[in-house]
Chains A and B, each alone.
Chain A
Amino acid sequence: MNQPGIELREVVKRHGSTVAVDHLSFSVRRGEFFSILGPSGSGKTTTLRLIAGFEHPDQGDILIDGQSLRDVPPNLRPVNMVFQHYALFPHLTVSGNIAFGLEMRGIVRAEIRSRVSTALDMVRLAGMGDRLPAQLSGGEQQRVALARALVNRPAVLLLDEPLGALDQQLRQEMQVELKTIQEQVGLTFICVTHHQEEALTMSDRVAVMDHGRVLQVGAPQEIYTAPASLFVAEFIGLSNRLDGRIAAVEGTRCRIEAPGLPIIQADAPAGAGPGRAVSVVLRPERLHMSQQAAPNGFDNVVPARVAKAVYNGHEMQYQLRIDERLLWTVRVPNADGGQKRFLPGDTVSVRWNADESVVLAQ
């Protein structure tokens, strides 16, 4: 299984004078759930449309199982898509929609019937086959769109913001369901989303895209804990940022000075040298708050003033003023029933260990 299921090689796509996709290369393994995450306008939807064949690359090539797709029209590609707004055929019933692809391929009627009903069962819509799309809820329409694509057993299933039109609760349910179905059918999924939680929850690997380029590809945990760039760090999850300059490098550690703050200890980034401008990125849940000023075993201690305390049910979220310039967010789980331990105006110290931050070049 070393051969990739699908591979993009140096793909370039221009829309007029703007470059939508800029020398894009990545490969997705067979049976993998791969997400492309990025802000709107990052080129992720164009990437999907290039794979589906609705747009043609200006340069580069796309291969499935080693075969170039360059001259293959969309109807002959072993690829099916779940459209962002589902694009269900309004004049066909649910069954008619699901059967469409099979009919186009000339599959015999008896087999179509059995495959459609299996697909309906899989997405838990058994008995709804005779309804029209307009008679379904958003979540049901979403599942029909999924069944319509899955029933063709494509080599790659493309999902364009598949949960984008659903409300928060349904979205969370469907995240789990999509992942379950994907594991069940064992197909390659490529999912485009701007919703980071979605990408992290469902995917085996995530590619973060911006301005038509892939900035980082990796497992969700890797992307979150070891972002390769400031953009990735700030796009995924909440992060606090501290800009400074490397004062000294000592083995794997470095010392960073930032105006108005004590010297910060952090893991040294690769190739870092003294004098380099860097940003220290800190996740809100990795920071510890205390009323005591003593380090108590932590590598770093920074004084702060509580600006705001927000009760969130499962956690407390504090906004802290650091040196009157920076505003940091700290999350403290409400494991003990959630009293407000700190009040606005309190003076506190924020502490963390060197390996709990990430240092990135500016």
Chain B
Amino acid sequence: MKGPAWRRRGLLAASLGNLFFLYLPIAVLIVYSFNAAKLAMTWQGFSLQWYAALARDHALIVACQNSVLIALVSTGVATLLGVSAAIGLERLPWRLRAWLDGALLLPLVIPEIMMGVALLLFFVLIKLPLGLLTVTIGHAAFNLPVVMVIVRARLRKLDPQLEEAARDLGATPWQAFRRVTLPLLMPAIVGAALLAFTVSLDDFVVTFFTAGPGATTLPLKVYSMIKTGISPEINALSAMLVVASMGLVALSLAVQRRRIFTH
């Protein structure tokens, strides 16, 4: 049986190759963010000067604030409406539910650029000035179905008899929801909100179409920096964003680890 051994080794090599492919550009980015050289890719010594330059960039700080503000508000709206819709959907007769399920899948598969241009046209036609508000509305619109799908997946896995058991033990419908369903949904809700927050922070395409000049977000800022040419400052900024996303991943994993009550 020489088969399995070389096959396993081949698989391991392929997997490591994949990881190399996934991490190579990120590693290069982080390494060069500490390079003292201005233009060349040659290594001219360790330096934190590009990070210092970022800290002095006022427009960048404003962009950061805009991004966080938009992400917070749009996540709040999307989570509130999404969770409520997921619960409502579960209580519909199944024919209506199946239909709505399909309809609510549409925003998830529609190309981002389509959503971007559609919102742009809509805002222009209703004469709502492009800015933070329009971006936030757009983000909430693409995040709402995301939240709903995640929360619904969890709801569907809940034993419907749990709520019945609570009712049988004297709980009113509200108490049954509050004491049984909601605590069991909480990990999914938190996970969905974290995902929505990240997606909003990262979004470029929809933001690009709905932002207007006054509402530069972090991705828009990064984009305009990239368009003006590769510079070590972008390396430094990107490296920081990479670390920030890793922090968010760690956070969401920590939340998931607390899901002791999943079967």
A interface list, Cβ under 8 A from B: 52-54, 73-77, 79-81, 83-85, 87-91, 100-101, 104-105, 132, 134, 148-149, 152
Contact = CB atoms under 8 A, between A and B. Distances in A.
Contact of A91 (B167, B168, B172, B183): B183
A87 B175 contact: no
Interface residues on B, range: 20 to 34
B187 to A, nearest CB: 10
B140 to A, nearest CB: 30
B167 A73 contact: yes
Contacts of A148: 169
B167 A75 contact: yes
Minimum-distance CB pairs A-B, first 7: A101-B169, A104-B170, A87-B161, A87-B165, A90-B261, A74-B167, A91-B261
B interface, over-half SS: helix
Given A85-B159, A85-B161, A87-B165, A75 B170 contact: yes
B164 A87 contact: yes
Interface string B170-195: 11100110011001100000000000
Interface string B126-169: 00000000000000000000000000000000010110111111
A53 B166 CA distance: 12
B106 interface: no
Contact of A105 (B161, B167, B170, B179): B170
B184 A74 contact: no
A91 to B, nearest CB: 5
Residue among A91, A149, A152 facing the most chain B CB atoms (10 A cut-off): A91
A89 B164 contact: no
Given A81-B165, A134-B263, A91 B184 contact: yes
A104 B174 CA distance: 12
Contacts of A101: 169-170
A84 B261 CA distance: 20
Contacts, number: 73
B260 interface: yes
Contacts of B179: 100
A49 to B, nearest CB: 8
B168 A89 contact: no
Contact of A75 (B159, B172, B184, B261): B172
A93 to B, nearest CB: 11
Given A85-B161, A89-B162, A104-B175, A152 B170 contact: yes
A114 B89 CA distance: 41
Nearest to A73: B167
A1 B18 CA distance: 78
A74 B166 CA distance: 9
B155 to A, nearest CB: 14
Residue among B164, B170, B172, B260 facing the most chain A CB atoms (10 A cut-off): B170
A87 to B, nearest CB: 4
Contacts of B261: 90-91, 132, 134
Contact of B161 (A76, A83, A152): A83
A90 B164 CA distance: 14
A80 B169 contact: yes
Given A89-B180, A90-B263, A104-B175, A79 B162 contact: no
B257 to A, nearest CB: 15
A90 B159 CA distance: 10
A105 B175 CA distance: 11
Contacts of B168: 52-54, 74-75, 77, 79-81, 149
Contacts of B260: 132, 134
Contact of B165 (A53, A76, A83): A83
Nearest to A100: B169
A53 B172 CA distance: 13
Interface in B171-222: 171-172, 175-176, 179-180, 183-184
